[in-house]
Amino acid sequence: QVQLVESGGGLVQPGGSLRLSCAASGFTFSGYYFSWIRQAPGKGLEWVSYISSSGDYTNYADSVKGRFTISRDNARSSLYLQMNSLRAEDTAVYYCARESGGFDSWGQGTLVIVSS
């Protein structure tokens, strides 16, 4: 069955960096677009970034543009999010989600806390 498992979250100081990973299984990873979507504590969903199936096309929310980089390794069926210059407002649960029309599969999320 389709499975997405995020990892890499944790506590980081403001200005620090973190790399999130999302391991996919149960389907042909290379055939899908993916997005990272985050949810701050007690808040709604916020789209962060997407990447095309080949990795050629990406885009970012204005709130993370220039600080976050999305990438993928189709050979490893893995999605990544490199997060630099982290701020307190980046504190959230980060979900990876497969795109098939809508976001039809989601991981369980990984918590990122930016605090000194």
Partner 1 sequence: QSVLTQPPSASGTPGQRVTISCSGSSSNIGSNSVNWYQQVPGTAPKLLIDSNNQRPSGVPDRFSGSKSGTSASLAISGLQSEDEADYYCAAWDASLNGLWVFGGGTKLTVL
From the list 15-23, 45-53, 66-74, 77-85, the region that binds partner 1 by CB under 8 A is 45-53
Residue 113 contacts by C-beta under 8 Å, 6 or more apart in sequence?
A: 9, 10, 11, 12, 91
**Contact stretch for partner 1 (CB under 8 A) within 11-19, 67-75, 82-90, 99-107:** 99-107
Among 95, 111, 113, 114, binds partner 1 (CB under 8 A): 95
Rounded to the nearest whole angstrom, what is the least distance from the CB of residue 114 to partner 1 in the complex? Answer: 21
By CB under 8 A, tell whether 41 contacts partner 1: no
For 7-59, the DSSP string reads: E--EEE-TT--EEEEEEEESS-GGG-EEEEEEE-TT--EEEEEEE-SSS--EE
109 interacts with partner 1 by CB under 8 A: yes
